[in-house]
Copies of this chain bind each other. A is one copy, B any other.
Amino acid sequence: MGQEFLKIKDPEDAEDIISTLPILKKVEKVSLVEAYRRVLAEDVYATIDLPPFRRAAMDGYALKSKDTFNTSEDNPAQLKLLDVVTAGKIPQMKVEHGACIEVSTGAPIPEGADAVVMIEYAEKEDDYVSVLESVPLNANITAQGSDVKEGELLLEEGERITADKIGVLSAIAMQLVPVYTQPKVAVISTGNEIIKHQEKLDYAKIYDINSYTLSNAVKACGCIPIHSEIVKDDYNSLKNAILKFKDADIIITSGGTSAGTGDNLKVVLDELGDVLIHGIAVKPGKPTIVGLIKTNSVNHQIIFGLPGYPVSALMIFHIFVAPFLRKMACIGENEVERNIKQYKLSRRYIPSRGRKQYLLVKIKDGQAHPILKDSGAITSLAEADGYFIIPKNVEMIEQGTLVDVYSLDN
């Protein structure tokens, strides 16, 4: 016995293969409330001028600027107060020479006025206002369309709709927002030893971990997880489970890929589709499978078979699967960058030879402390803040070396 990895790949080649997998972008329309954190699928143009009318930028008095020519505190201009226009009200009167109309911030500028003096520079007494400074033409007036003209580009396809972008869409009252459809990802835990959380923990069994960690990691990539039942590690169970998820864009399995398990996923994929990668030369996570199932003449389902150990599964997910899911969900790579931070290594570390390695670390006292547990250890997940990459042929990393730590939280 023993497993043959016929298509074992270097990690760089595996990344290349995964990055060229076919992606089908779908678009849907959602309400503005649902649009938060989604990715815009079309450019958005202004359907109205912003602001939609000429308005006051400050609380004050709308007037003719000429009437304030040469005025000062010692020589104020006396203007007759005709009316008051608050925000939301339509002005009923015109500003004539020698007169003014009180306006509040956001109120429309009455006809005839060409400037607003701020209340701080004016004094009201009965029906008259003394203007204490000379007011330039257009002062404190925001012209219609001065921010955006109808037809102008507001937001671009591919932008993530954050709270501030929601504000832009609100300004033009966009009620249905075109966004990229979130890919559906079926998450399957395989293994005869895996049981549901509701079950009694009999000897030889362990509780399901991977479907929970991976479902949530899938969410963090902007995809929708379909949390499946646990699947027995035999050919028929696995094949039936995969066929059940015909609607999923992607299927992620964990377990059932290491030697001694019969390598069922490979056998199933050989029958239903293509095995593209069978083994990646990394630590942890060597027994990783990537495959493709043709569901009809245009569509493919992509399958990632991850190792069964929770740490290995989550690491391989982060390194090889997450970038692909984010790409499929149309999330820009720029969003990931901020989750890399440099730390000094707390101690000397001697990597295992021959494979590129991803080492979990805990950040403490501003240093990256390697977590030296095997990938079966759950506590390494509890402690880990991230990981760094050790290239294939490094013999030793000195204490104090600056390493790029990738957050596990994305």
Contact surface of A with B, Cβ cutoff 8 Å = 1-2, 32-33, 36, 48, 50-53, 57, 59, 86-90, 102-108, 119-120, 124, 142, 147-148, 154-155, 162-175, 191-194, 197-198, 201, 203-210, 212-217, 219-220, 227, 233, 258-261, 308, 310, 314, 338-339, 341, 373-374, 376-379, 381-382, 384, 407-409
Contact = CB atoms under 8 A, between A and B. Distances in A.
A210 B171 CA distance: 9
A169 B201 CA distance: 15
A166 B213 contact: yes
> How many copies of this chain does the complex contain?
2
A7 B346 CA distance: 50
Contact of A36 (B173, B206, B216): B216
A175 B197 contact: yes
A147 B1 contact: no
B193 A88 contact: yes
Given A57-B374, A108-B204, 6 more contacts: A105-B260, A119-B259, A142-B374, A167-B378, A168-B382, A171-B209
Secondary structure at the A interface, as helix, strand, loop or mixed, is: loop
Give the interface centre of A119, A205, A260, A341 by most chain B CB atoms within 10 Å: A260
Give the interface centre of A48, A119, A166, A217 by most chain B CB atoms within 10 Å: A166
Contacts of A86: 192, 233, 260-261
